């Protein structure tokens, strides 16, 4: 049976010791955020994830969702768990108190998402999609739309979806065929078919609010002709100052997909037959509003990668400590037993340390970006808000792609640690491989994230987005070089950082002449960017651990020494991949594009 314990010690180390998350209390609206409050939220969130969601993960995967006569039912226990989850206010952790939310920082929402995804990734899809719908309506909806939908989304009584993909188009949304025809009452009749709609139909909530991309009759071609509409499953009716589900709208589920993973999350074909909807934002400007959902969703998917990596690592570690096979190469370590635990073997240690270094590095990076998101939303200085928003925009494709790549890789490593037992369903770790695979695909495949990084973010405003990352890293390297204790970490970071800058210049120069050059380098560039980002995080963590040890360690010397050791592993064994990526980038894209399609 798999195990999961929320890694609260590691989470607190990053939030309190490294990033000083309690300083968020200086932002308007977060005045009550304190270390004690953060810890209280962490402990309660961990409790529901460990005790309620995690026990349903394997059973939910085995049972899956069922579809009969247009009705989707989630696995046994999910509805009760959702009711408990929503009743605890978790659907509105970071939502505006005006609509019933807790008003907590986005950073804490990132932490909660990590724990949910470790405990039960399928379950996390339902409130995760609602959060995206909330964000889009909060930022782009009319006041009437906010009053109608947001309180119910925040309470969890209603849930949300994002309906983008159609049978003929996924990434290229300009090809959508769903139509929106104006009605005399200001609403629109929406007709079309959407596929791959996560949480599109289920039995957890009384209503489902679909955010639907469609085209008006006068829409221009391509993405410039897309509008966004809110289309409820049941038309809201006002009762006693609150909105309740009313008449059934023309929205139905045609089928559900039978999937490789996240089987307890309903992935639906949604048919819209003259369904009544209302325009969100301006007509033909739907992509701008939808990107609000997609950016939040991409950050959430990045947290899925981290969550799976964490729970996979925990299970690999537990198994490696217990499984007895052979003797250590340098002599027995457990002479009283018939064999040594496999954690003594170098290759098993390589796999475990890879999981530990990547997971802890990605956690720091995720929360660092989460704090930037809070500054982007709340800082009193418009210039600071803009700078933070641009940093978040730059980092989202990096987080989404790298963390989901590594979530899948670490899940695979865990199966390898288990050997043949990992391939057997009853042990539970093969599910992590299946569940994690989708995260590399949805909300834009990881190849699309790489194109977004080099094609949009790298070039934006003459490289201004990049400077929000390059400048703090460069400043840290400059100051760190003067600290003898940090040399072993700062020197390799400085070398990788310098090559990242060179790679940036190379791609910019070649890409101007031939866009295929930028495309050919994009995946290697994103991976290189991620490795340098993790290097920066590991420097921050190593420095913090050194300071804690120098101050007496408060009885936690082993914890801080483990951080420093893991930092050494990262810089010696993982960061060198950046050199190989740099060589691939500078080799150019000629060999990718020269072969005729017929000759593959």
Q: Are 184 and 135 in contact (CB under 8 A)?
A: no
Instruction: Check 443, 488, 561, 596 and give the catalytic one.
Output: 443
Alpha-carbon distance 372 to 370, whole Å? 5
Which among 165, 475, 429, 397 is positioned nearest to 311, based on CA atoms?
Answer: 429
User: What does the longest C-alpha to C-alpha distance in the chain come to?
Assistant: 84
Q: List Cβ neighbours of 554 (8 Å cut-off, separation of 6 or more).
A: 548
377: annotated active-site residue? no
Question: 3-class secondary structure for 439-467?
Answer: HHCCCCCHHHHHHHHHHHHCCHHHHHHHH
Number of DSSP helices (H) and strands (E) in the chain, helices first: 17, 11
Q: What are phi and psi of 166, to 5 degrees?
A: -130, 165
Alpha carbon distance, N-terminus to C-terminus of the chain: 45
CA distances to 142, 523, 593 from 600, in Å: 52, 21, 11
Alpha-carbon distance 407 to 309, whole Å? 4
Alpha-carbon distance 444 to 222, whole Å? 18
Q: List Cβ neighbours of 417 (8 Å cut-off, separation of 6 or more).
A: 316, 319, 320, 342, 348, 351, 352
Q: What are phi and psi of 207, to 5 degrees?
A: -155, 155
Alpha-carbon distance 49 to 57, whole Å? 11
User: Count of residues for the chain?
Assistant: 600
Q: For 407, what's the count of Cα atoms within 13 Å in the CB-facing half-sphere?
A: 33
Residues involved in catalysis: 443
């Amino acid at each position: 049976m798999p195990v999961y314990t929320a890694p609260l010690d590691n989470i607190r180390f990053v939030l309190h010791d490294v990033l000083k998350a309690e300083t968020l209390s200086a932002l308007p609206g977060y005045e009550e955020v304190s270390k004690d409050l953060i810890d209280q939220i962490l402990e309660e969130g961990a409790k529901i994830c460990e005790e309620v969601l995690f026990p349903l993960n394997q059973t939910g995967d085995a049972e899956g969702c069922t579809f009969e006569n247009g009705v989707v039912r989630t696995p046994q226990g999910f509805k009760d768990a959702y009711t408990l989850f929503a009743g605890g206010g978790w659907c509105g952790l970071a939502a505006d108190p005006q609509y019933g939310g807790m008003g907590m920082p986005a950073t804490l929402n990132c932490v909660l998402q990590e724990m949910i995804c470790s405990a039960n990734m399928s379950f996390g899809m339902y409130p995760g999609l609602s959060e995206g719908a909330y964000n889009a309506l909060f930022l782009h909806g009319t006041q009437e739309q906010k009053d109608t939908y947001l309180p119910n989304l925040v309470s969890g009584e209603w849930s949300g979806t994002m309906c983008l993909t159609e049978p003929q188009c996924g990434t290229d949304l300009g090809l959508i065929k769903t139509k929106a025809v104006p009605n005399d009452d200001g609403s629109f009749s929406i007709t079309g078919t959407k596929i791959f709609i996560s949480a599109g139909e289920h039995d957890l909530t009384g209503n489902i609010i679909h955010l639907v991309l469609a085209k008006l009759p006068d829409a221009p071609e391509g993405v410039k002709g897309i509008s966004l509409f809110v289309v409820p499953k049941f038309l809201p009716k006002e009762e006693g100052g609150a909105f309740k589900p009313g008449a059934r709208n023309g929205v139905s589920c045609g089928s559900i997909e039978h999937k490789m993973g996240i089987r307890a999350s309903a992935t639906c074909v949604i048919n819209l037959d003259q369904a009544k909807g209302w325009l969100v934002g301006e007509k033909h400007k739907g992509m701008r509003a939808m990107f609000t959902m997609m950016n939040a969703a991409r950050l959430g998917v990045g947290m899925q990668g981290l969550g799976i990596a964490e729970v996979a690592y925990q299970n690999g570690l537990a198994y490696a400590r217990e499984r007895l096979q052979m003797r250590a190469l340098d002599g027995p370590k457990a002479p009283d037993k018939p064999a040594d635990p496999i954690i003594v073997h170098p290759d098993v240690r390589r796999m475990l340390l890879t999981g530990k270094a990547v997971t802890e590095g990605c956690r720091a990076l995720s929360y660092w970006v989460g704090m930037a998101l809070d500054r982007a939303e709340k800082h009193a200085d418009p210039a600071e808000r803009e700078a933070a928003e641009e940093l978040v925009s730059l980092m989202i494709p990096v987080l989404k792609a790298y963390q989901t790549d590594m979530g899948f890789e670490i899940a695979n490593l865990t199966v390898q640690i288990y050997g043949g037992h990992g391939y057997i369903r009853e042990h539970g770790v093969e599910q992590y491989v299946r569940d994690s695979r989708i995260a590399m695909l949805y909300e834009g495949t990881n190849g699309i994230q790489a194109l977004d990084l080099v094609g949009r973010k790298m070039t934006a405003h003459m490289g201004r987005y990049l400077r929000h990352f390059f400048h703090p890293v460069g400043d840290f390297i400059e100051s760190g070089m003067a600290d003898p204790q940090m040399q072993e970490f700062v020197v390799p970071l400085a070398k990788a950082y310098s090559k990242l800058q060179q790679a940036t210049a190379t791609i910019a120069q070649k890409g101007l002449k031939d866009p295929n050059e930028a495309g050919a380098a994009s995946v290697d560039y994103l991976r290189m960017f991620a490795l340098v980002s993790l290097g920066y995080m590991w420097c921050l963590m190593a420095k913090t651990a050194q300071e804690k040890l120098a101050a007496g360690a408060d009885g936690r010397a082993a914890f801080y020494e483990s951080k420093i050791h893991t930092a050494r592993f990262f810089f010696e064994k993982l960061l060198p991949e950046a050199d190989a990526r740099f060589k691939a980038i500078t080799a150019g894209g000629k060999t990718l594009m020269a072969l005729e399609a017929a000759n593959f």
